Amino acid sequence: MATNNKYSIEVSGLDIGYSKPELKVLHKNLNFAIKPGNLVSVIGGNGIGKTTLLRTISKLERPLKGEILIQNNSLSHIDNAEIAKIISLVLTHPPASKSLSVREFIALGRYPHTNWIGSLTEIDKQKIAKAIAVTEVRELLDYKCYQLSDGQYQRIAIARAITQDTPIIILDEPTTHLDLYHRAYVLKLLQNLTKQYQKTILFSTHEIELALQLSDQILLLHPEHVILDTPKNIINSGILSDLFPIDIIYFDPISQRFKVK
């Protein structure tokens, strides 16, 4: 695994949304700083802009306004080749070529680091092997991607991101389609990557209760405000009760769980 320096993410005066087919602003004037080597979960209701925020920080979407700094460097001034060495991204959609084997798919994570003919060095092979071991996907290596379940694909996508060996990993709903054990397993894995390998990890999730237990910081998106704080402060603030309509569910700060009325 890499010994990359810790990387920070700073957002200043950021407006996110879409300019086509018509202008739609999801959030205005976002300002927050993600500390290096932290595990940060992005939470909020459906359609609140979690995916759009992650895609904007990853440079897949253009900000409508404002600036994003990666290790004090403006994201707009970092070319795509360099971005691939800084940020690895795990999205929820399936691989572009389902005919790839799992082994080939994971090895693609090394593409920013290989030479012009794409040959793997011994170091590349070691990083691939380490990612396979960490994510426990060895038994899937000879399968084709089209043969995998959604949950299995999530695991190999994370393995590819680890193989890419970037200081920042961004994941959009990495626990989707997983059972309870594997949801906890994935989030514990992400926590370990921050603690043991100093990765800065930002992920969106609906697993709020698990996120509160495992994250260093919570980035809470709400129609009226966006808050970045520790899980403890988020819980004590009472704001979790405003995430969803209170006629059905509410957040109990004592048990740290959402409950049905």
Please state, in angstroms and rounded to a whole number, the distance separating the CA atoms of residues 75 and 49.
20
One-letter amino acid of 133: A
Please state, in angstroms and rounded to a whole number, the distance separating the CA atoms of residues 216 and 194.
10
In this structure, are residues 240 and 251 in contact, taking their beta carbons and an 8 Å threshold? yes
* pLDDT at residue 1 in the model: 39
The arithmetic mean of pLDDT across residues 112-137, rounded, is 86
Phi and psi at residue 257, to the nearest 5°: -140, 155
Q: How far is CA 232 from CA 193, 222, 235, 259, in A?
A: 22, 18, 5, 19
Tell how strand 87-90 and strand 168-172 pair up: parallel
Average pLDDT value over all residues in the chain? 89
| Domain definitions of the chain by residue range | 9-96+167-260
The three-class DSSP label of residue 87 is: strand
Q: Looking at 71-216, which runs of residues are DSSP E strands?
A: 73-74, 87-90, 168-172, 200-204
pTM, entire model = 0.90
Q: Could you confirm whether domain 9-96+167-260 is CATH 3.40.50.300? A: yes
Q: Categorize the per-residue pLDDT at 96 as very low, low, confident or very high, splitting at 50, 70 and 90.
A: low
Other C-beta atoms within 10 Å of 144: how many? 14
- Exposure on the CB side of residue 17, measured as CA atoms within 13 A: 15
pLDDT tens column, 150-185 = 788 888 999 999 999 999 999 999 988 788 888 888
In this structure, are residues 9 and 42 in contact, taking their beta carbons and an 8 Å threshold? no
pLDDT tens column, 29-66 = 999 999 999 999 999 988 899 999 999 999 999 999 99
One-letter amino acid of 118: G
